[in-house]
Structure 1
Amino acid sequence: MSNYPNLLIDVAMHHLKNQGITTVFGIPGGLIHPFFDRVEQDEEFSVVVARHEGGAAFMADGYARASGRIAVAAATSGPGATNLLTGVAAAFADGVPMLVITGQAPSHTLGRGAAQETAREDIDIVGIFGPVTKYSAMVPSPAQFSRHFRRAITLALSGRPGPVHLNVPVDFWQQPVDEPLVASTAIEPSRPVDLPAVELAAAFLTQAQRTVVLVGSGASSLGARRLVEEVATHLGAPTATTPRAKGVFPEDHPLSLGVCGLAGSPAAQSALVEDSVDTLLVVGASMNETTTFNWHAGIGHERRIIQLDIDPARIGRNYPVDIALVGDTEATLAELLKRLQAHDSSPQPATSAIPGSRSIPEIVNVSEGSSAAELGPAVWRAELNHALPSDAIVFSDIGGHMLFNLRHLQMRNDQRFILNMGFGSMGHGTVAPIGASLGCPGTPIIAIVGDACFTMNGMDLLTAREYDIPVVWIVENNQGHGISYHGSKLVNGGRAMQCIVNNKRISAAAIAGAMGIPVWEVDQPGQIGHVLREAITVSGPTVIEVHVDAEISPPLAERAKTVAGFRND
């Protein structure tokens, strides 16, 4: 216990350390200067200064997704705070825990029109963050900071995780607080399990003749991944994943159906709408548009649905559910496995699998879709599958390259795939890997992004260069916004928008080279594997630019139907 009163900044640092937080992503500014100044002086903390506050939020998001630990993004008031919004919204949409701290004008000036004031009387920053956080509040006095901090962290980690926001007037940081700095344990999320529902689900699954499992990102923790595999193996049940959960169930597993939904495998689509399936076990998936082929009626036709989710609002939202398992994914799966084993001590052979269900992302011939001078997107991904490290974390940005990633990459046992599918923000997959590398030191981090994503948020590669953060960016360059180009052809009767095609060629390699980052260029089959192995050996950031034929369309027919008018035909 320390002597007190302490300054508010001392109390804040104490709480952050108790929670295990030692990295802050952001950009310092006048109205949050005392916070950043103290963080910089503390040897236990690291400050990662982004090139844009949006990038700082993406980095904090990537840190949390990869490590499973809450992250911090901080910015000054006014535009610094509003620049964070897209990254915070991406975290909120996908259930990623994040503490957001923003600056505010001095408390004695609020309501008087101070520079960059964002109080309720003017631009209400607390209100702006409200819809994209689980908790958003201005700290009303130094004495109230601890109460707001504890409440915010508890909400960020409980139930479905998500970001929380605290707005602190700049003069509060240096004011005294009559509060001792007492050592305490970190706030941990509760892990509820509905045992009667689990028992009923086990009985249903034991009696089922043809079960299919659909796994969502709610099962992305290491423990949940292992338990999903054990449950599926015990049941002998073919297993598909949502697009965002790609790789949560290993795609080289005999029961894997691959990705179901957007750009997914035909085997997964067939299984999810197959009439002979009598039971569908949904684990940590909300059954949204991108997973269900625009809410295909066949998915819920004449079958029992058992749905597990921490958030009761997501259960039964799109399809009627026979058994609702509201609870922590990992804890509930552990109890379900125990009861399945008790009902039937011998695991089921994989004979209940739908014939031909073996998934594996499509492998193409080297000549398919490529000219003599340019490489097809499917071709180099087929080669990349053999070169990816066994423990790689692969990020995908949003665009045509994402669809090729979903269809043609194969995520194996200990590999992970991260995609901000909920909000679908371009730039996330370009910047979030920087945070992931800091959250998982020593793990190979590879980002597969498009040239449009790279030019939208690529200046934050300078952040990776500044701190020697080892990320390998693979920039697939088709000289434009590929998904919009090909999508417009599908919805416009073959006429493609031309405003999204680069009239003047962009070189990602030249841009990265100007940053002082080692670069490679790939334009022929047989090159990507060797180049990736070389890039991974570099101690800092690297960029591989892959030149592809822009006329090769990604697999987006189902999405185009949705854009054209929510048709199921």
Structure 2
Amino acid sequence: MSQQRASQPVKRMVDITMRYLRAEGARVVFGVPGGLLHPFFQAVESEPEIQLIVTKHEAGAAFMADGYARSTNSLAVCAGTSGPGATNLLTGVAAAFCDGVPMLVITGQAPSHALGKGAAQEMAPEDIDIVAMFKPITKYSAMIPAPDRVSHHLRRALRLALTGQRGPVHLNVPVDFWDQPARPEWFEPQSYRPSTEAFDREAVRHASYYLVRAEYPVLLVGSGVASSNARVEVRQFAERFGARVATTARAKGVFPENHPLSLGVMGLAGHATARDTLLSDQVDVLMTIGASLNETTTLNWDPRLMPREALIQLDISVDKIGRNYPVTVPLVGDARTVVSELSFHAERELEGTDTPSRWHEEPPIIHDHGFYEHPELRISTAVPITPQRWRVELNEILPRNAIVFSDIGGHMLFNVHDLAIRNRQSFILNLGFGSMGHGTAGPIGAALAAPHRPVIAIIGDACFTMTGMELLTASEYDVPVIWIVENNQMHGITWHGSQHVGNGQPMDSVRYRRPLEIASIARAMGLSAWVIERPGELRLAFMEALERRQPALIEVLVDGSVCPPLGERAKTIAGFRDR
């Protein structure tokens, strides 16, 4: 039986909640315990199948849950008590919402009998409405109205979090409900979460018609390919049809960047090869897969992105289809399912013959230093070390199955442009909401979710100052993340970017007045730490950090005068101001 009716023995509401979490594969809850959510945290601590990770701030809890979910494509859970515990979660939840990350968020609430009376940290609809605060940044936000209703609300929340365009959901619970008896209305997950792998077969045939006739086909791959676990299918599809492939910045590495068909990243901090190809009049068929065609990908919605013959857009969200460009063939559905079906139809039409792709007649793509901006800075022996040079050194020693996180800032632009993410490696960037601090705390969640894979976080000094206290969390739980902190003693993206907009004056207030010694702070937290000052020093420190399998930090002192590749972004900002 997939469902147990009310005749079953009555259980506590918190026990029912734990059963649903176990069934959905939740194995970690991130949060900061507090009185108005104490029964829930107490139950998690007593649950042998679920680990409670107590973070230093609720924003860190949300970021860690986000990192956990992104690295596994599975449900993550974070929780915070009422009042500031709940509001502190908002930024991390917004980051998950913008990037379609499945997350269950549980917040505390004053006892039901006190609602509306002004209880301490009360966040009821009559006053500070926490449910309303979460509504714009979740797929579902609700207060549990009674213990017997918890099964209904859990199923609805989990169904929405894990189907279609995934995303965070929020449940707010009065503290007195957790220990009260409730009917255990149990459904197995497969009985309340339908598959969303349906697709329009006629639309697939229509798309196949254009693709098998394309002479200069290009795929623009977005992060939806990673969410769908469609990396292999997309690579095989591109190879069969001779399509060159660009990715969005957020999907960096979803298609291996050392592959002979790789154009690199299109858009923000991207590569000239991708930009020059996609904005040329040579492309006859462009197919986007899981890419929303937003501002950062399209360089402020450049009209030259439209191909000569057909634009095919595949996305699981119908709202993304045709939002910014007119689409010739819309494909709504799961990327893995639709690409597989598209391959099947195209093969039937080709009947084993070669495709008419003529890319092989063009000069091959060579992924050497000349593929990147300022190749001379990638081989520079200058001291302080250039941001480009140490990334070249990292690429030479990066483990083949590494998960690489980037935080937000000037260092992110160098990460997107100068790193090469290869097959089996993953690159995680919360570029949708663009929250600083995510790439600092999120890797802890990823390392807990995927302990067999090395997790490396490349962050800036300003990001470290935002959520760097979460390194204490990694130290306490012995989570083996390696943080590489690029220290230029300022908010680099703001300092350099300010010279491209407005009156062109650098914003000096974002430069530190006192030198920030990050490695010293990390050692005080119990981490092993190294300082890199010149070319050639990174390898020894990084390999030692890998071997130790403990939390570690490498501070890289870089030449802050080297401008990150933000030219196109600066033009966009200036364009917005001038409109």
TM-score, structure 2 normalization: 0.95
| Counterpart for residue 217 of structure 2 | 211
Which of these residues, 323, 345, 351, is aligned with residue 329 of structure 2?
323
Q: 1:529 deviation in Å?
A: 2.3
Asked if the contact 2:72–2:449 (Cα under 8 Å) also holds between the matched residues in 1, the reply is yes
Residue segments in structure 2 that go unaligned for 5+ positions in a row: none
Supply the distance in 1 between the matched residues of 2:23 and 2:278 (Cα, whole angstroms): 45
Which of these residues, 181, 187, 196, is aligned with residue 190 of structure 1?
196
Q: 1:195 deviation in Å?
A: 1.2
How many residues are matched? Answer: 569
The 3 A distance-change label for structure 1 pair 478 and 347 is farther
SS in 2 for 1:499: helix
Asked if the contact 1:447–1:473 (Cα under 8 Å) also holds between the matched residues in 2, the reply is yes
Which of these residues, 400, 406, 411, is aligned with residue 396 of structure 1?
406
Partner AA of 1:419 in structure 2: L
Partner AA of 2:20 in structure 1: H
Alignment of 1:288-367 (within 5 A): 288-300=294-306, 302-344=308-350, 345-348=352-355, 351-352=358-359, 355-356=362-363, 358=365, 360=367, 362=372
Partner AA of 2:210 in structure 1: F
Supply the distance in 2 between the matched residues of 1:75 and 1:140 (Cα, whole angstroms): 19
The answer on 1:440 being equivalent to 2:454 is no
Supply the distance in 1 between the matched residues of 2:518 and 2:366 (Cα, whole angstroms): 34
Alignment of 1:30-45 (within 5 A): 30-45=35-50
Supply the distance in 2 between the matched residues of 1:59 and 1:539 (Cα, whole angstroms): 19
Of 65-74 and 349-358, more deviation after overlay is shown by 349-358
| Counterpart for residue 428 of structure 2 | 418
- Deviations for 1:380-419, whole angstroms, at most 9, x for unmatched residues? 1111111100000100000000000111000111111000
Asked if the contact 1:363–1:378 (Cα under 8 Å) also holds between the matched residues in 2, the reply is no
SS in 2 for 1:566: helix
Asked if the contact 1:99–1:164 (Cα under 8 Å) also holds between the matched residues in 2, the reply is yes
| Counterpart for residue 540 of structure 1 | 550
Alignment of 1:432-511 (within 5 A): 432-511=442-521
Partner AA of 1:126 in structure 2: V
The 3 A distance-change label for structure 1 pair 460 and 204 is same
| Counterpart for residue 69 of structure 1 | 74
The 3 A distance-change label for structure 1 pair 414 and 259 is same
Asked if the contact 1:236–1:347 (Cα under 8 Å) also holds between the matched residues in 2, the reply is no
Alignment of 1:133-144 (within 5 A): 133-144=138-149
Partner AA of 1:523 in structure 2: E
Which of these residues, 116, 121, 130, is aligned with residue 125 of structure 1?
130
The 3 A distance-change label for structure 1 pair 505 and 347 is farther
Q: 1:441 deviation in Å?
A: 1.3
The 3 A distance-change label for structure 1 pair 343 and 322 is same
The 3 A distance-change label for structure 1 pair 387 and 430 is same
Of 371-380 and 360-369, more deviation after overlay is shown by 360-369
Partner AA of 1:314 in structure 2: K
SS in 1 for 2:554: strand
Q: 1:185 deviation in Å?
A: 4.9
Supply the distance in 1 between the matched residues of 2:314 and 2:442 (Cα, whole angstroms): 28
Alignment of 1:177-326 (within 5 A): 177-179=182-184, 185=190, 187=193, 189-221=195-227, 223-300=229-306, 302-326=308-332
Asked if the contact 1:255–1:350 (Cα under 8 Å) also holds between the matched residues in 2, the reply is no
Q: 1:351 deviation in Å?
A: 3.8
The answer on 1:522 being equivalent to 2:535 is no
Of 354-363 and 493-502, more deviation after overlay is shown by 354-363
Partner AA of 2:573 in structure 1: V
Which of these residues, 89, 109, 122, is aligned with residue 84 of structure 1?
89
The 3 A distance-change label for structure 1 pair 264 and 6 is same
SS in 1 for 2:510: coil
The answer on 1:22 being equivalent to 2:27 is yes
Residue segments in structure 1 that go unaligned for 5+ positions in a row: none
Partner AA of 2:102 in structure 1: P
The 3 A distance-change label for structure 1 pair 497 and 183 is closer
Supply the distance in 1 between the matched residues of 2:247 and 2:101 (Cα, whole angstroms): 19
Asked if the contact 2:378–2:392 (Cα under 8 Å) also holds between the matched residues in 1, the reply is no
SS in 1 for 2:365: coil
The answer on 1:551 being equivalent to 2:542 is no
Supply the distance in 2 between the matched residues of 1:258 and 1:182 (Cα, whole angstroms): 45
Which of these residues, 369, 384, 408, is aligned with residue 374 of structure 1?
384
SS in 1 for 2:298: coil
The answer on 1:150 being equivalent to 2:155 is yes
The 3 A distance-change label for structure 1 pair 418 and 182 is closer
CA RMSD of aligned residues (A): 2.0
SS in 1 for 2:297: coil
